[in-house]
């Protein structure tokens, strides 16, 4: 199957090809063009927030999702009326959580 293109002359096609070669060569250093590898060493640095987020992500990933034994204990305590809430302990935990959020 042949496609006939009448509007493009060989000069235009050649000029287009030459322009593409110029653009490619000006974007990359000569050493990189020859070897295909970067001539400088790349470095990456992470912010303190990114490092902290990585630690939190690891902690969450390694923590079990559900402690079924504890859930059963709480269900039984609620069912038989022996479950008691220590308001002071709840308040302390809320304050610890708030301090973590502020830092």
Q: Mean pLDDT per segment of 10 residues, for the chain of length 103 residues? A: 62 51 52 63 89 93 89 96 95 95 86
The pLDDT assigned to 49 comes to 93
Kindly report the pTM of this predicted structure. 0.32
Q: What is the per-residue pLDDT for 93?
A: 96
Alpha carbon distance 6, 8 (integer Å): 6
Supply the pLDDT for residue 54.
93
Instruction: Look at residue 38 in the predicted model and tell me its pLDDT.
Output: 64
Strand ranges (E), the chain: none
Q: Pick from 62, 56, 46: which is nearest to 101 by CA? A: 56
Q: What pLDDT is stored for residue 58 in this prediction?
A: 93
């Amino acid at each position: 199957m042949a496609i006939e293109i009448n509007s493009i002359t060989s000069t235009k096609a050649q000029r287009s090809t030459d322009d593409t070669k110029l653009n490619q060569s000006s974007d990359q250093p000569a050493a990189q063009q020859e070897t295909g590898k970067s001539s400088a060493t790349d470095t990456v640095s992470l912010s303190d927030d990114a490092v902290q987020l990585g630690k939190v992500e690891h902690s969450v990933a390694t923590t079990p999702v559900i402690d079924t034994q504890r859930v059963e204990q709480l269900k039984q305590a609620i069912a038989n009326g022996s479950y008691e809430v220590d308001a002071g302990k709840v308040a302390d935990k809320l304050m610890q959580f708030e301090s973590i959020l502020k830092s």
